[in-house]
Every structure is written in structure tokens, then in C-alpha cells.
Structure 1
Amino acid sequence: MISLIKNRNGQQLAVYSFGDATQPAIIFSNSLGTDHGMWQAQVTVFAQDYFVICYDTRGHGKSAVIDNSTLTDLANDVVDILDHFNIEKAHFCGISMGGITGLQLGLIAPQHFLSITIANSAAKIGQETAWLSRADTVETEGLADIVSTTHMRWFSDKFDYIHDAIAQQSIQSLSVTPPKGYAAACRALAQADLREQISAIQVPCLALCGGLDPVTTVADGEFMQAHIPNCEIAVVDASHLSNIEAPQQFNQIFAEFIAKH
């Protein structure tokens, strides 16, 4: 079911819910340039036993494009979604941009979370200058160049992304992401650096890494495990969008982790 809700600033967020609302809740947060549809292989499995919420991060899918967004704004949107459903505590799982959003939630809204899974992400993703340059390029030239090469960043060579429906749908979602929305997210990521702060996170965390991920590496996961007091690490045999490339392995690791919390 889709709900078009307003966040605390009156901006539209597109939110999708699945399963029984009386069950424990999981909220999934998408990566840069994708939308809620990237979580299809997780929704199918987890909506049997959980109330599953996916949403389009601001500037993506059917959610509003909002300039001057920060990582704190991305995190506050998640809290606003939980408030909309009157959910006191949820399991959080975010990938890439969604993963660093989870770290920020662990710092500013820990009371809302039973666990936080940080998939294919890092306490700092990429370099500020590269993000700002990408934002400017996308705003002036659009996303076509990024779309044409994105499979090389998202998936490993051994994955047949051409014949995978969710992979194709995710590449399609990138092609229709508003350039201004994508650029605003790049600028939020440019400023996002939580390396000094994550040691304050008290929520149980899982750093779920892709062993073949060139973007956010296993070393990034090991850094989080070393600095967050209660953080496990797991590695799946996949590249950057590991939930799409290795869904069964991803789901099993995630299911075992949240079952403990």
C-alpha cells in the first residue's frame, strides 16, 4: 500500500507498507538513484512475519525534491515515517546512502530502533569534491552518463544483471530519478562524515558488506565494527547492491541478526 505523507517540513514522502501492521516493524532505506522497488526480494520474504515499510528517499521516486538537504534531514524523514504509522521501535536496514542514514539515526534517534543494519555503506562515503562535482554535472547534463555505467558500480562481473528483473528495475529507477533530487542527495553525502561520532551509537548494529564492492569496501565495514560498541560484521559474495545481487544470502544474514534483537 502506498501512503503519500508529509514530513515535519510539509514535504511529500512516498511510503509503501506491506504485511500485518501489528507485527514488529522493519523500515528499508534505498541507495542513491534507486527507489523503494530495490527491496522487492526483501519485502517478499519479510512481510510474512514483519510489518515492512519501504520509502522513496527525498528527491527519488515519488518523494519531493528538496534542495539543501543534509544527512540529518534524511534521518528525520525516517522518524517522521515511523511517527506516521505510530511505530515506537523498528528494525532499520539501509543500503549505501540508506546505510549512512542509519548511522545518523543511531546518533540522533536511537530510542526508535531495535537494530540498525548498515549495508554496503560507510561512516564516510567517497570524497566531498567528487560528490559536489557529480552534483553539478548531473544538474547540467542529466543522468544518462551515470545510467550507462552504473551496472559496473552496482553489480559484480559474475552477476547476470541483464536477466535480473529487480536489477533492471533499479537501473530504470535511476534513469527516471529527477536530476535535481539526485544532485541534492550527492550534496548531502558530500557533507556527511560520521567517523568521529559513531562510537556514541548504542543501538545494536550490523555492518553488512559486499566482498566485491568497490564503492564501500569491507574495510569500511571493519571500521564501523571497530568503532561502534555493539556492531557485528558480515560479508556477502556480491558488489554494491548486495541485496539484489545475493538476495538469499543477504536475507538470511539479516533475518538472523534481527531475530536476536
Structure 2
Amino acid sequence: MPYADLPDVRIHYQLEGDAAKPVLVLSNSLGTTLDMWAPQATKLAEYFRLLRYDTRGHGQSQVTPGPYTIAQLGADVIDLLDYLGIQQTHFCGLSMGGITGMWLASTHPQRIKRLVLSNTASLIGPPENWTTRAQKVLADGVASIAPAVVSRWLTPEFAQQHAQQVAQLEAMLSATPAAGYAASCCAVRDADLREALKHITAPTLVIGGSGDLPTPPADSAYLVSSIAGAKYVELEAAHLSNLQQPERYTAALLTFLQQ
């Protein structure tokens, strides 16, 4: 497995596809690894040089002392692109990955060709909920919250019909280091990108889920109204729409990114 030794963190990443093709970065949600993009990876790698990575504190990436900030997580992406010699990229981020994308597109516009903000929001509150969750996982481990969190990632009907996928998601979440998860909770808690949205100039697609509880369609609507020229696609899904509607999600990405 390849690792990038960046200025203050070691990041685990996977780069696949033809080097002559445009680059697409996929950025994970809180508590997941680059494997969350498995339903999209094979198809997307046909059209793009696909870069996936484990966010700082997650998966096989290094757990550095927290709390983290979205600016710190975004800087990791810039450092990783520099490490790999990539000057410009498309970027798709889901949930926390989407917040990272907002920061990147507003502060490093020259690096982002097209932007996809999926199941995310410019402000996800209330802040005390994130503080309580961080304290909980530090005290009892991430597994202590896994069933409750995963229950909000998928609609109840889908979860009932896909017990194996629920178990896999709970296992992925439970394996997340408590210190990394808690530090990332602080990054989401403290992130307010509402003002930054007006500075995003990259063509932007917002993907929402009709049954998304953590970031409901109203949050998507706010992004669309705040980012000039943004387009919107809504899927019949909860928070992890790329897993619940993999074919439609991938089709939406390809349609937008290949324009």
C-alpha cells in the first residue's frame, strides 16, 4: 500500500488509472476509509486517474494529535497532490469530505477543475453534539456509537434488506482510531464555510439524499443557492448516497465531470 510522508502526517492513498487522464480525488466521510468508494472506483478509473486516500486519523493514515481543523485536512490534500506532482484535479467529497472540498475550492481555486459536494453542508451543528460525540468515543471507543451512526447512513428500508452491508459499515466505523475520530469531530464542529461559498468559482455539482438526516436536502439547497451556477441532483438515499444508489451516483458524477 502506498503512503505519502507529508510535512506533518503520513497519508495512505491509492492512485489508479491512466496517467494521461484527468485526475479525480475522492474524499471520505467521517469514520470511513477510502474503501467507501469501492462501488464507484472501477467505473471511474476507466475515465479518470483516480486518487483515493484515508483522511488524517482514519484507516491506515497516521493519527496525529488533535483537534483537527478543516483547513488542516484540506492542506493534507494539497500536500498530497504536490507529493504526487498533480497540479489540478476534479474533487468529490462526501460529508466531511465535502466540507474539505468547500475549503479547497474557496482557498485554492486554481487546483480544482470541477467540484462535487455530496451529502454535506457548510455548517453542521449543533456544536455541542460533536463535542459530546468526541468525548464518547474517547471514553468508550468508536464501536460504542457505530450502530447509531450507521443507522443514519442508510434509510431503514435499505438497511433491513442489506444486513451484510450494514455489518461492513459498522466494522469500518468501529475500526477507526478513537483519537482520530474525535479529532475529526472537532474539525466538523468548528467548520463554518458559509462565507467561503461565495468564493467558489469551479463548476459545482451538489448531490443530496432525500432521506439524509445528518445533512438533509435543505442543506443541499443552501449550497446550490450560495455557489454561483451550482447544479443539483437528489437521490433516493440517506447519508451515504454513493453506497445506497451506487449506479445513479456514479452516473451523476460521470455526466457532470465529463461536461
Aligned residue in 2 for 1:246? 245
Q: Write the deviation string for residues 173-228 of structure 1: whole angstroms up to 9, x where unpaired.
A: 11110000000000111110111221111111111001110110111011011111
- Count of aligned positions: 256
In 1: Cα distance, 2:117 partner to 2:7 partner = 25
Aligned residue in 2 for 1:161? 162
User: TM-score, normalized by length of structure 2?
Assistant: 0.95
In 2: Cα distance, 1:75 partner to 1:25 partner = 17
Which sections of structure 1, spanning at least 5 residues, go unmatched? none
Q: Write the deviation string for residues 105-162 of structure 1: whole angstroms up to 9, x where unpaired.
A: 0111111111110100000112211111111111111122211223311000221331
In 2: Cα distance, 1:38 partner to 1:100 partner = 17
In 2: Cα distance, 1:84 partner to 1:196 partner = 30
In 1: Cα distance, 2:40 partner to 2:6 partner = 25
Which sections of structure 2, spanning at least 5 residues, go unmatched? none
CA root-mean-square deviation: 1.2
In 2: Cα distance, 1:168 partner to 1:259 partner = 34
SS state of the match for residue 82, structure 2? helix
- Going from structure 1 to structure 2, the CA distance change for 1:89 and 1:168 (only over 3 Å counts) comes to farther
Q: Write the deviation string for residues 83-107 of structure 1: whole angstroms up to 9, x where unpaired.
A: 1221111110010000111000011
User: TM-score, normalized by length of structure 1?
Assistant: 0.95
Deviates further, 35-44 or 148-157: 148-157
Deviates further, 14-23 or 155-164: 155-164
Residues 203 and 230, structure 1, Cα contact 8 Å, conserved in 2? no
Aligned residue in 2 for 1:201? 200
Aligned residue in 2 for 1:220? 219
Correspondence for 1:22 among 10, 20, 34: 20
In 2: Cα distance, 1:196 partner to 1:24 partner = 29
In 2: Cα distance, 1:19 partner to 1:171 partner = 30
Q: CA deviation at 1:168?
A: 4.1
Aligned residue in 2 for 1:92? 91
Q: CA deviation at 1:243?
A: 0.3
In 1: Cα distance, 2:224 partner to 2:42 partner = 29
